[in-house]
Amino acid sequence: MGTALYTGDHLDNRMLYARMAISPFAHALILGIDTSAAWQVQGIRAILTGECSEVLTGEEIRDRPIIAKDRVRFFGETVAVVVADTEVQAKRAADLIRVRYEPLPVVNSPMEALRKDAPLVHERLGEYTKAEGVVSIPGTNIASLIKIRKGDMNKGWRESEVILENTISFMPSDHAAMETRSAIAEIRPDGYIHIESSTQAPFAVKKFMGLYFGFDPGWIVVKTPLVGGAYGGKAAIQLELVAYLASRAVGGRKVKIINTREEDMVTSPVHIGLDATVRLGSNLAGKITAAEIVYRFDGGAYDDKSSDVARAAAQDCSGPYAIEHLYCDCLTIYTNHPYASAFRGYGHAELTFAMERALDALADKLQMDPWELRMRNIAVPGDSAPTRDVLTSSNLGDLTTCMHRLRTLAGWDDWKVMQVNANTIRAKGISCFWKNSSMDPNASSGAIISFNSDGSLNLETGVVEIGTGTKTVLAQMLAERMKMNPERIHVKFEVNTEITPEHWKTVASRGTFLAGRAVLKAADDAIRQLLEIAACVLRADPDDLELGWGKVMAKADPSIQIEVKDICYGYKYPNGNSIGGQIIGRGHYIQRRMNNLDPQTGEGTPGPEWNVGAQAVEIELDTRDYSYKLLKAISVNDAGKVLNPKAALGQIMGAISMGLSFANRETFVFSDQGTVDNPTLRDYNLIRYGENPEYIVEFIENPCLDGPFGARGLGEHGLIGMPAALASALSRAAGVQLNRLPLFPERIWRTKMGEPHDTL
């Protein structure tokens, strides 16, 4: 309805505006910056360059200056920031800044970065401060190396009767959220630093700004209103830092910075790229006996979240298959591409594409039904994850049931490839996936419940509403526990880190899980207090009372009751004496028994559960020009427990669409010099209205005992297997293995003809 207010909608007469000057080179020395012409523009208050701050930032490796100093490492990197009275003045001045560059050799892919003669993107890699578990290799472009070692590879290969090797690749791409990134910063006279930001992680902004600049976090207040889509791209901290430096340069005045769409695509963090090699061994019956996997993630010019994405991929590297003998090297590699942030699925759509394409190739070599090959290898309770964690019926979703249901919904036994006419082929493809939450071992969430005088409730959590409807589900959960109408629960949407209970981050499909557990504990706390006051008034034992529909009543005789509105602020006796007081329920939750992975073996406990699903795509290919239509997309997910059917359906359908768009058209096109040739939505195509297939979504319910009401994560899971399923269908239709995304018609044609890739 246009009534929601976002960070960019914030207006203030005292506010100044910042705009950036960015690099036209992917790798170059900065020889000098001439700002003289920019200073002639009316209304200019400050011009900042890399000299204004020595701080290096980055959650995993502190390797990134806020504004480039001495050299730029990717096309679009910020080289100067202008602060002015208006946005137009700031933009005009930014365009007048003249920078002298000396171009340097470019590292344009992970494979190029690993060559012995490759230029070093970071010559001081060994000197950077790193987070726990990050193992870099100084003197190379390897920002991080994670190893998974399980079983005996020699034994696995000896038992293999068939060995197959497959490679896949795709370049970085964009998140394409409707709202571009934005931030507002103000340093107040009392010393408090106020940040308003379009972020998924306001408490992380607070934490890391304190860490980077040496502040007590108590002096940093971060506010986040509604966020117009994020998909992981707003989990990174970038414009908040620029806005803070800009405010500092103008005496603490409030400064706003908003990305244009073009800036959002190339100056801010992107979706990670990947080159991968998967080598599988199996017996003739199709049981996989060994897997040797190398993931080479394109982390871009700075590490930021890339090595953590790689960690998440490493711990689930095999996909949802029970492989006894497993070897995986997961590398995060510096290139001269825009640096990466989280992306919906957090490394799992990427690893799933690599593993599922290898399984399809193995099925072809064994002349086995791809569905049957997967069924013979699916992990079940009693098996172990790549991290050696034992899988149970609670922590592992029921993929076997998902697969059987998919077989029926897809009509898999009816046909797999169909010649419609002389120029048209229909085909189906399938994929399986799993995903652990991949959250930090100390990830936690809190919730506060307070009452209004009419007995209605106020709910406050640190979950950011980014379009997932999580706060609606939290209100439903609270209503269920309190036995009241959800319409009587008032949810606070804005997050304010000064007063809102902390929620780790609104990422990893953990909003319902973490905050849900906290909300239920807060509800129990409020119920306990209500029963204690009611017991005094009704002269009963609290254990003999129950709460429901705005009243506390005796279990044995419900006519003995008192209304919640009469006791939620304490109770006043007829003579004026009062007892109790305002009831405030509080709850918190922190995930149990998690620990960091051993970087040499991968052994550890990465998270509470592995959520699973099975997916299929049906396409129609025109063999004259290799264009194709998306006919059906099917997803069967183990939801644990569906809490809000419409919201769950919407999440899965939206994720399917996003996965198909990523798979069939979305990519940055890099020149030989590392510049992005399609930095606008005119040239960077998204799936459009009318191009969507028929969506078929079903859920099975195998509860996770740790989840609230047994619920499992869903927000990312509709996307994860879609690229692999689409490639499977198109490979079957074209009669050739398609292992490179996105699946442009030209790319299919070139693969079919044996031509080199990439004129696009």
CATH fold for domain 444-590: Aldehyde Oxidoreductase; domain 4 (3.30.365)
Residue % of the chain over a pLDDT of 70: 99
pLDDT at 23: 98
Sorted by where each begins, the domain ranges of the chain are 7-104+180-227+234-267, 352-439+609-753, 444-590
Reported as a single tens digit per residue, the pLDDT across 612-649 is 999 999 999 999 999 999 999 999 999 999 999 999 99
Query: How many residues are given for the chain?
Result: 760
How does residue 84 score in pLDDT terms, banded at 50, 70 and 90? Answer: very high
The set of residues, in sequence order, having a beta carbon less than 8 Å from that of 76 and lying 6+ positions away, is 22, 23, 263, 266, 267, 338, 676, 679
pLDDT, residue 2, reads 84
**What six digits make up the tokens of 562?**
């008192």
Q: Stretch 684-688: mean pLDDT, rounded? A: 94
**pLDDT at position 757, please?**
59
Q: What is the DSSP annotation of 460-519?
A: EES---SSS-HHHHHHHHHHHHHTS-GGGEEEP-SEETTTSPPBS-S-TT-IIIIIHHHH
Helices (H) and strands (E) in the chain, counts: 16, 34
Residues in contact with 130: Cβ distance below 8 Å, sequence separation at least 6, in sequence order: 60, 61, 62, 136
Give the global pTM: 0.96
For the segment 519-536, the average pLDDT, to the nearest whole number, is: 97
In 250-347, which residue ranges form alpha helices assigned H by DSSP?
261-266, 306-315
The dihedral region occupied by 133, where left means phi > 0, alpha psi between -120 and 50, and beta the remainder, is left
Q: What is the DSSP letter of 218?
A: G
Judged by DSSP in three states, 445 sits in: strand
- pLDDT > 60? residue 174: yes
Q: Measured between alpha carbons, how far is residue 665 from residues 391, 662, 740 in Å? A: 36, 6, 11
Phi, psi of 720 (to 5 degrees): -55, -45
Do the domains spanning 352-439+609-753 and 444-590 agree at the CATH topology level?
yes
pLDDT value of position 598: 87
pLDDT in tens, 328-369: 999 999 999 999 999 999 999 999 999 999 999 999 999 999
How far apart (Å, rounded) are the C-alpha atoms in residues 220 and 596? 29
Fill in the DSSP letter of residue 326.
E
Stretch 430-449: mean pLDDT, rounded? Answer: 92
Q: What does the pLDDT read at residue 312?
A: 94
Residue 165 token pair: 């090797």
Nearest alpha carbon to residue 664 among 680, 686, 648, 644: 686
Q: Tokens 């292992």 map to which residue?
A: 739
Tens digit of pLDDT for each residue in 561-607? 999 999 999 999 999 999 999 999 999 999 877 888 887 899 988 87
Instruction: Pick 352-439+609-753's CATH classification: 3.30.365.10, 1.10.3720.10, 1.10.357.10, 3.60.60.10.
Output: 3.30.365.10
Tokens for 531, please give them. 């029963």
Kindly report, residue by residue over 254-276, the tens digit of the pLDDT.
Answer: 999 999 999 999 999 999 999 99
In this predicted model, what pLDDT tens digit does every residue of 56-83 receive, in sequence order?
A: 999 999 999 999 999 999 999 999 999 9
**Beta strand ranges found along 396-461 (DSSP E):** 417-421, 424-436, 444-451, 457-461
Over residues 191-220, the mean pLDDT reads: 96
Residue range 473-488, pLDDT digits in tens: 999 999 999 999 999 9
- Binning pLDDT at 50, 70 and 90, where does residue 506 land? confident
Check residue 758 and give its pLDDT: 53
Which pLDDT score is estimated for 590?
A: 92
Helix, strand, or coil here: 278? strand
**pLDDT tens for residues 238-257?**
999 999 999 999 999 999 99
Query: Strands 340-341, 270-271: parallel, antiparallel or unpaired by DSSP?
Result: parallel
Query: What is the helix, strand, coil percentage profile of the chain, to 5?
Result: 25, 30, 45
Range 560-568, long-range pairs (CB < 8 A, 24+ positions): 562/534, 562/537, 562/538, 563/455, 564/451, 564/455, 564/530, 565/453, 565/454, 565/455, 567/530, 567/533, 567/534, 567/537, 568/451, 568/452, 568/453, 568/455, 568/530
What pLDDT score does 133 carry? 87
pLDDT band at 740; cut points 50, 70, 90: very high
Whole-number Å distance between alpha carbons of 153 and 279: 12
For residues 504-519, give the mean pLDDT: 90
> Among residues 219, 220, 174, 182, which one has the least CA distance to residue 199?
182
Instruction: Give Rg (Cα) of the chain.
Output: 27
* Beta-strand relationship, 56-57 and 28-34: unpaired
Average pLDDT over residues 679-697: 95
Q: Give the least confident one: 536-545, 594-603, 687-696, 733-742.
A: 594-603
Three-state secondary-structure class, residue 190: coil
CATH class of 7-104+180-227+234-267: alpha beta
- Nearest-angstrom CA–CA distance, 54 and 62: 12
Give long-range contacts, CB 8 A cutoff, 24+ apart: 650-654: 650/469, 651/468, 651/469, 651/714, 651/715, 651/718, 652/697, 652/714, 652/717, 652/718, 653/695, 653/697, 653/718, 654/718
Instruction: Please provide the average confidence, as pLDDT, over all residues in the chain.
Output: 95
Query: Ramachandran region of residue 106, left (φ > 0), alpha (ψ -120 to 50) or beta?
Result: beta
Neighbouring-strand partners of residue 505: none
Percent of the chain with pLDDT over 90: 93
* Element at 598 (helix H, strand E): none
